[in-house]
């Protein structure tokens, strides 16, 4: 392990800048956004330097560590606050700082009319710092700090416009749903500590043989719960749609490209646990498969462009989670899809933001239509992202998604066939709903119902979108060329235990199948949405559409199964508190008061009665002494 002194700047710079922007206050309004963007760009530069330095080193020497300080030292239990930059973290560092910087630049223009732009940038920097701590921490405890930090930043940014009560509620919902996952992570850390006496990744990795499968399964399931919360996976996915209340750059950065992929990072980082716990791994697969279909189905029915994209994010992360569940061979593909998804989804979200910017913050796609000719650059970049997400060769999504589908089919047995069909179906639905989004937004009749024509966004917004769409075109080819990413990640994800089952379908067959289902999906959408559309959602629709519009009743389920019983439980506890706890305290008071008022009558002010009492006291004392000594 190499020692490095530079890693601390990844976290210190954005954290410091965030603190400055928040503490200096209004005086920083004129330069706050510039400072925050510069800081974000400089972390990206450090990331690039570290990447090339890492590439220059021999494979077994690539990871670097930096010990910051001894955090907890109790007896034999020692936790250092130390950072680890290895082949896996550098992927995330480059994604976070790179996409993060582009989104900072975009936000300068997007938020230029907002009075609170400085505060927005302070939160963005806070997010960058926390997310980098999350991926750079060398132990679960350090990761947990970053994990909570991004949760906080996400909460602050979703509720950035908290003067609208609905947005504040959305922020709270995201926070509460995330807390459920966080409990899972903290339980996983506790079990890991009880089992191994250690919380560092390297320490646990060495000891996995010593633990029983049951212990590893417990840790794995708790980690999966954590991943479900942060990555909006079934059954904790309901917050992501509402999280779109935040400003669009936030949706692009936090709720599409980076933070929501933290669950994928967590599972990949814990590969040594999941590889030894087949039940936990199976649960990962199930969660991934369910969510990718769940998200895709929801995506088909949403008229809010951001919510449609959010459902798509949910579904794509489902793909990644499913890939991580496929064992050693899947991790690299999950990370590959994560990186390509970071590019094309961020580009599409920023494109959606650009459309909203031109359309006076209208988000309902039924009120769009024909925007393509007014905003050509946005339309083209969005189109590139669209081709990437549905997996048209040679765009990025083709390389990454195909690999996942292929690996799923080849997982062996009925499991492989079921997963393969689920991923293939997901690909078809993805093609359908993304085509729907594109047609409703950029083609067809103009339905916005006012005379002002939409205008193209300023260059400061278009340049980041263009750069991201270049990424969504090229990243898939670059990452898969000569298996570059797979080989790069090999030392981290332990592919030594890889075993080759016989292949069900060859690579070409899977590609052909995927392309054909994508064509089917696209053509259904084109048939359905070509021509003039109404500017209101149709009323007479199938039951499935109604369900999809309501997020497949996840909110109702949560409300009926958790929220109402939880509230009634709390009401009961409150009553117990009033009756028992407060009752006990109050009755102490009541007893004291009544005893006092009884005893008070002894103090009658008559000297003679006091004297009598003294005499009685002395006499009884003498009597006692007499009895005791005799």
Partner 1 sequence: MPIANYLYLAAILFTIGAVGVIVRRNAIVVFMCIELMLNAANLAFVTFARINGNLEGQVVAFFTMVVAACEVVVGLAIIVTIYRSRRSASVDDASLLKR
Minimum CB separation of residue 575 from partner 1 in Å reads: 39
Task: Give yes or no for a contact between 497 and 275, defined as CB atoms under 8 angstroms apart.
Answer: yes
C-beta of 76 vs 604, nearer to partner 1: 604
Stretch that binds partner 1, among 102-110, 258-266, 381-389, 600-608 (CB under 8 A): 600-608
Asked whether position 615 contacts partner 1 by CB under 8 A, the answer is: yes
Minimum CB separation of residue 606 from partner 1 in Å reads: 5
Q: Which residues sit opposite 73 in a β-bridge?
A: 78
Task: Give yes or no for a contact between 426 and 293, defined as CB atoms under 8 angstroms apart.
Answer: yes
Minimum CB separation of residue 603 from partner 1 in Å reads: 6
Burial of 413 (0-12, 13-18, 19+ CB in 10 A): exposed
Minimum CB separation of residue 589 from partner 1 in Å reads: 20
C-beta of 163 vs 601, nearer to partner 1: 601
The side-by-side arrangement of strands in the sheet containing 77-85 is 2-3, 64-74, 77-85
Please name the residue that has the structure tokens 């040594």.
272
Q: Where are the alpha helices (DSSP H) in 25-86?
A: 32-56
Residues binding partner 1: what is the number (CB under 8 A)? 11
With CB under 8 A as the contact rule, the residue among 539, 543, 598, 606 that binds partner 1 is 606
Stretch that binds partner 1, among 101-109, 239-247, 305-313, 608-616 (CB under 8 A): 608-616
The rounded distance, in Å, linking the Cα atoms of 19 and 123 is 9
C-beta of 482 vs 605, nearer to partner 1: 605
Asked whether position 600 contacts partner 1 by CB under 8 A, the answer is: yes
Stretch that binds partner 1, among 8-16, 268-276, 413-421, 609-617 (CB under 8 A): 609-617
C-beta of 499 vs 600, nearer to partner 1: 600
Minimum CB separation of residue 155 from partner 1 in Å reads: 59
Asked whether position 611 contacts partner 1 by CB under 8 A, the answer is: yes
Asked whether position 596 contacts partner 1 by CB under 8 A, the answer is: no
Residue 146 gets the label, from left (phi > 0), alpha (psi -120 to 50) or beta, of alpha
C-beta of 534 vs 603, nearer to partner 1: 603
End-to-end CA, the chain: 85
What is the token pair recorded at 110?
A: 């997007």
Stretch that binds partner 1, among 90-98, 113-121, 402-410, 601-609 (CB under 8 A): 601-609
C-beta of 76 vs 603, nearer to partner 1: 603
C-beta of 210 vs 602, nearer to partner 1: 602
Asked whether position 603 contacts partner 1 by CB under 8 A, the answer is: yes
Closest CA to 323 of 311, 332, 310, 313: 332
With CB under 8 A as the contact rule, the residue among 27, 543, 605, 626 that binds partner 1 is 605
Stretch that binds partner 1, among 57-65, 164-172, 186-194, 597-605 (CB under 8 A): 597-605
Dihedral in degrees, nearest 10, Cα atoms 154, 156, 158, 163: 170
Closest CA to 454 of 354, 366, 382, 304: 354
C-beta of 585 vs 607, nearer to partner 1: 607
Minimum CB separation of residue 605 from partner 1 in Å reads: 3
Asked whether position 607 contacts partner 1 by CB under 8 A, the answer is: yes
Minimum CB separation of residue 625 from partner 1 in Å reads: 16
SS3 500: coil
Q: Where are the alpha helices (DSSP H) in 275-412?
A: 278-301, 305-325, 328-358, 376-390, 396-409
Please name the residue that has the structure tokens 């899809």.
337
Stretch that binds partner 1, among 169-177, 263-271, 521-529, 611-619 (CB under 8 A): 611-619
Asked whether position 573 contacts partner 1 by CB under 8 A, the answer is: no
C-beta of 593 vs 611, nearer to partner 1: 611
Please name the residue that has the structure tokens 């690579």.
507
- How remote is the C-alpha of 154 from its chain's centroid? 9
Please name the residue that has the structure tokens 């034999």.
76
Minimum CB separation of residue 604 from partner 1 in Å reads: 5
Minimum CB separation of residue 74 from partner 1 in Å reads: 58
Task: Give yes or no for a contact between 456 and 374, defined as CB atoms under 8 angstroms apart.
Answer: yes
Minimum CB separation of residue 609 from partner 1 in Å reads: 9
Asked whether position 450 contacts partner 1 by CB under 8 A, the answer is: no
Helix 328-358 with 396-409: angle, nearest 10 deg: 140
The rounded distance, in Å, linking the Cα atoms of 214 and 279 is 9
C-beta of 562 vs 610, nearer to partner 1: 610
C-beta of 604 vs 629, nearer to partner 1: 604
With CB under 8 A as the contact rule, the residue among 76, 508, 542, 604 that binds partner 1 is 604
Q: Which residues contact 289 (CB under 8 A, 6 or more apart)?
A: 318, 322, 418, 419, 422, 423
With CB under 8 A as the contact rule, the residue among 60, 599, 608, 630 that binds partner 1 is 608
Burial 489-525 (b: 16+ CB within 10 A, else e): bbbbbbbeeeeeeeebbeeeebbebbbebbeebbebb
C-beta of 77 vs 610, nearer to partner 1: 610
With CB under 8 A as the contact rule, the residue among 612, 622, 624, 625 that binds partner 1 is 612
Minimum CB separation of residue 587 from partner 1 in Å reads: 25
Task: Give yes or no for a contact between 462 and 391, defined as CB atoms under 8 angstroms apart.
Answer: no
Burial of 619 (0-12, 13-18, 19+ CB in 10 A): exposed
Task: Give yes or no for a contact between 312 and 345, defined as CB atoms under 8 angstroms apart.
Answer: yes
Sign of CA dihedral 23, 27, 28, 29: positive
What is the token pair recorded at 257?
A: 């490209």
Minimum CB separation of residue 612 from partner 1 in Å reads: 5
Stretch that binds partner 1, among 307-315, 461-469, 588-596, 610-618 (CB under 8 A): 610-618
C-beta of 544 vs 611, nearer to partner 1: 611
C-beta of 534 vs 604, nearer to partner 1: 604
Minimum CB separation of residue 585 from partner 1 in Å reads: 27
Stretch that binds partner 1, among 69-77, 149-157, 243-251, 603-611 (CB under 8 A): 603-611
Minimum CB separation of residue 169 from partner 1 in Å reads: 58
What is the token pair recorded at 90?
A: 């550098």
Task: Give yes or no for a contact between 182 and 147, defined as CB atoms under 8 angstroms apart.
Answer: yes
SS3 258: coil
Stretch that binds partner 1, among 94-102, 252-260, 477-485, 605-613 (CB under 8 A): 605-613
| Binding stretches for partner 1 (CB under 8 A) | 600-601, 603-608, 611-612, 615
């Amino acid at each position: 392990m190499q020692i490095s002194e530079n890693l601390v700047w990844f976290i210190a710079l954005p954290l410091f800048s965030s603190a400055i922007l928040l503490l200096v206050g209004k005086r920083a309004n004129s330069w706050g956004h510039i400072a925050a963007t510069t800081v974000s760009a400089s972390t990206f530069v450090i990331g690039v330097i570290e990447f090339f330095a890492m590439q220059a080193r021999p494979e077994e020497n690539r990871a670097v560590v930096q010990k910051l300080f001894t955090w907890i030292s109790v007896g034999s239990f020692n936790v250092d606050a130390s950072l680890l930059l290895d082949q896996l973290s550098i992927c995330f560092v480059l994604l976070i700082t790179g996409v993060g910087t582009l989104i900072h630049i975009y936000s300068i223009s997007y938020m230029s009319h907002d009075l609170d732009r400085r505060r927005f940038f302070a939160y963005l920097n806070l997010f960058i710092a926390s997310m980098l701590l999350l991926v750079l921490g060398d132990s679960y405890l350090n990761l947990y700090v970053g994990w909570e930090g991004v949760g906080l930043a996400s909460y602050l940014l979703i509720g950035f416009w908290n003067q609208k009560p609905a947005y504040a509620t959305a922020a709270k919902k995201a926070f509460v749903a995330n807390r459920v996952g966080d409990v899972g992570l903290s339980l996983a850390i506790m079990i890991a500590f009880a089992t191994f006496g250690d919380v560092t990744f390297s320490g646990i990795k060495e000891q996995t043989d010593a633990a029983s499968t049951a212990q590893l399964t417990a840790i794995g399931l708790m980690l999966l719960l954590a991943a479900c919360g942060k990555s909006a996976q079934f059954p904790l996915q309901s917050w992501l749609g509402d999280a779109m209340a935040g400003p669009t750059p936030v949706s692009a950065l936090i709720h599409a490209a980076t933070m929501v992929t933290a669950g994928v990072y967590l599972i990949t980082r814990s590969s040594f646990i999941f590889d030894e716990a087949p039940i936990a791994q199976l649960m990962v697969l199930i969660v991934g498969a369910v969510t990718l279909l769940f998200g895709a189905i929801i995506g088909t029915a949403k008229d809010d462009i951001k919510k449609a994209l959010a459902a798509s994010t949910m579904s794509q992360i489902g793909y990644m989670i499913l890939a991580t569940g496929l064992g050693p061979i899947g991790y690299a593909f999950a990370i590959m899809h994560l990186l390509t998804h970071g590019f094309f989804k961020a580009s599409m979200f920023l494109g959606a933001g650009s459309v909203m910017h031109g359309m006076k913050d209208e988000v309902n796609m039924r009120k769009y239509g024909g925007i393509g000719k007014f905003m050509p650059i946005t339309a083209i970049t969005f189109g590139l992202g669209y081709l990437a997400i549905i997996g048209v060769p040679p765009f990025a999504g083709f390389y990454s998604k195909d690999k996942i589908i292929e690996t799923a089919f080849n997982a062996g047995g009925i499991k492989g066939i079921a997963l393969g069909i689920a991923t293939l179906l997901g690909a078809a639905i993805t093609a359908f709903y993304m085509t729907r989004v594109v047609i409703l937004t950029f083609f067809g009749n103009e339905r916005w119902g006012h005379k002002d024509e939409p205008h193209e966004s300023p260059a400061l917004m278009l340049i980041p979108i263009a750069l991201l769409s270049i990424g969504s075109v090229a990243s898939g080819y670059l990452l898969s060329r000569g298996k570059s990413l797979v080989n790069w990640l090999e030392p981290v994800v332990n592919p030594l235990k890889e075993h080759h089952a016989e292949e069900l379908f060859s690579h070409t067959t899977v590609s052909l199948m995927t392309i054909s289902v994508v064509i089917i999906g696209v053509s259904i959408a084109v048939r359905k949405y070509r021509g003039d559309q109404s500017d209101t959602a149709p009323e007479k629709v199938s039951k499935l559409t109604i369900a999809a519009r309501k997020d497949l009743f996840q909110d109702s389920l949560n409300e009926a199964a958790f929220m109402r019983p939880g509230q009634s439980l709390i009401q009961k506890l409150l009553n117990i508190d009033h009756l028992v706890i407060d009752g006990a305290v109050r009755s102490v008071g009541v007893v004291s008061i009544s005893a006092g008022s009884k005893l008070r009558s002894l103090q009658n002010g008559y000297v003679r009665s006091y004297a009598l009492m003294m005499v009685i006291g002395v006499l009884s004392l003498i009597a006692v002494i007499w009895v005791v000594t005799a």
